Amino acid sequence: MRRPDLDLDLLRCFVMVAELGGFTAAGTALCLTQSAVSLKIKRLEDLLRRPVFRRTSRRVELTAEGETLLTHARRMLALNDEAVRRMVEPPVAGRLRLGVADHFVPRTLAHILARFARTYPDVRLEVEVGRSHELRLKQEAGGLDLVLGKRRDGEVAGVAIWTEPVVWAAAPDWQAPAGRPLPLALLPEGCMFRERALRALSRAGLASEAVFTCDSLLGLAAAAQAGFALTVLGRSGFPAGLREVAGLPELGVVEMAVFGDPERRSQVVEPLVGFIRESLGAPAAGQPLVVPHLASVGHAA
């Protein structure tokens, strides 16, 4: 039996629905109506002869077959886009001093930059990793051309390129301490994630204490991996050995943006942002860890 060829247009639509969590949001991103997106997904499911989404009253969820397809679809689209760039886009050259916030895709940053360097060998890319607000100050002083980092709540500066949930993270066997404040591993004061976490716990009446403060995301991850504390991360930034924690107050979403002058450097910036977008959105390994005995956690006075 002849196997069908997968349509990249259908796969791109499928990936967008999976990453944005709905047909309406995917349609907005793709400049399509919701019905057009639904039709594309139906065509894909007819082609595969199996469903890729489960429709619920609140959102769409991937089926087991959809989870498998998503991995392959991302790889196929990435290869297609890389081939198209090489063949049809004009040569890209220049120098770019780029600041990248350390919570921004730490698992895949080196891989993204390596792919970018192979595809655009005439671009001289100089990368500095650090905290968003420090990198932005350096960019404003002329020390960096562009910064990829997070927008603060209510901020409109920069060009938004990605939105992701902020989540609680802990070791797989971590348990909330009965009758005691939740131990937290956080970045220093001034970090938006720190402020959100403390504010959310306070609103919920849950006592907490910062038992580990570190300038480095890797340091926070190490403290959480060891079971010493609970921490807060963007969902795309999960290192190995951590699980998302359910049952705690929600922390909302964060917008990642390009700060600087992306229009003036669009020849270099647009391909780089494209590489980053392709690599984001992979869920953390494993199922969310549900906090046991949350009712017994110490409450704020």
CA–CA distance, 61 with 27 (Å, rounded to integer): 16
Give the other-Cβ count within 10 Å of 175's Cβ.
12
pLDDT score, position 273: 72
Tokens 């196929």 correspond to what residue?
Answer: 76
The pLDDT-based confidence of 145 (bands split at 50, 70, 90) is confident
Matching fold, domains 8-87 and 92-164+254-279: no
What lies within 8 Å, CB to CB, of 281 at 6+ separation is 18, 19, 164, 236
CB 45 within 8 A of CB 39: no
Nearest one of 121, 74, 127, 81 to 104, comparing CA atoms: 127
Contact 229, 223 (CB under 8 A): yes
What integer pLDDT is reported at residue 266 of this predicted model? 61
List the single range of 59-63, 101-105, 119-123 with lowest mean pLDDT.
101-105
Per-residue pLDDT tens over the stretch 59-81: 788 999 999 999 899 889 878 87
Q: What pLDDT, on a 0 to 100 scale, did the predictor assign at position 234?
A: 83
- Residue spans of beta strands (DSSP E) within the chain: 53-55, 60-62, 94-101, 123-130, 146-150, 159-170, 182-186, 208-213, 230-234, 243-246, 253-260, 289-290
As a whole number, mean pLDDT of residues 9-32 equals: 87
**Is pLDDT above 50 for 168?**
yes
What is the spatial distance between Cα 101 and Cα 218, in angstroms, rounded to a whole number? 12
User: In Å, what is the CA distance from 285 to each residue of 14, 59, 243, 292?
Assistant: 21, 21, 7, 20
Please give the CATH topology (third level) of the domain spanning 8-87: Arc Repressor Mutant, subunit A (1.10.10)
The structural domains of the chain, with segments of one domain joined by +, span: 8-87, 92-164+254-279, 165-252+286-296
Give me the CATH code for the 92-164+254-279 domain, please: 3.40.190.10
Q: Which residue has the higher pLDDT, 88 or 298?
A: 88
Tokens for 53?
A: 């989404």
Q: How confident is the model at residue 287 (pLDDT cuts 50, 70, 90)?
A: very low
How far, in Å, are 3, 59, 201, 243 from residue 289 at the CA level? 39, 21, 18, 6
Radius of gyration of the chain (CA): 21
pLDDT band at residue 281 using 50, 70 and 90 as cut-offs: very low
Number of C-beta neighbours around residue 291 at 10 A:
19
Q: With a cut of 50, say whether residue 247 has pLDDT above it.
A: yes
**What is the reported pLDDT for 283?**
39
CA quadruple 81, 270, 162, 119: dihedral sign = positive
pLDDT of amino acid 57: 65
Averaged confidence pLDDT in the chain: 81
Q: Are 210 and 253 in contact (CB under 8 A)?
A: no
How confident is residue 117, by pLDDT bands cut at 50, 70 and 90? confident
CATH 3.40.50.150: does it fit domain 165-252+286-296? no
- What's the pLDDT score for residue 1? 63
* Model confidence pLDDT, tens digit, residues 190-216: 888 899 999 999 999 999 999 999 888
User: Is pLDDT above 60 for 289?
Assistant: no
Q: Which residue has the higher pLDDT, 119 or 69?
A: 69
Higher-confidence residue of 205 and 4: namely 205
Q: Report percent pLDDT > 90 for the chain.
A: 29
Q: Which of 69-73, 83-87, 105-109, 237-241 has the lowest mean pLDDT?
A: 105-109
Residue 12 tokens, joined: 């791109």
Q: What is the predicted pLDDT for the residue at 285?
A: 36
Q: What pLDDT sits at residue 96? A: 82
pLDDT band at 264 (very low <50, low <70, confident <90, very high): low
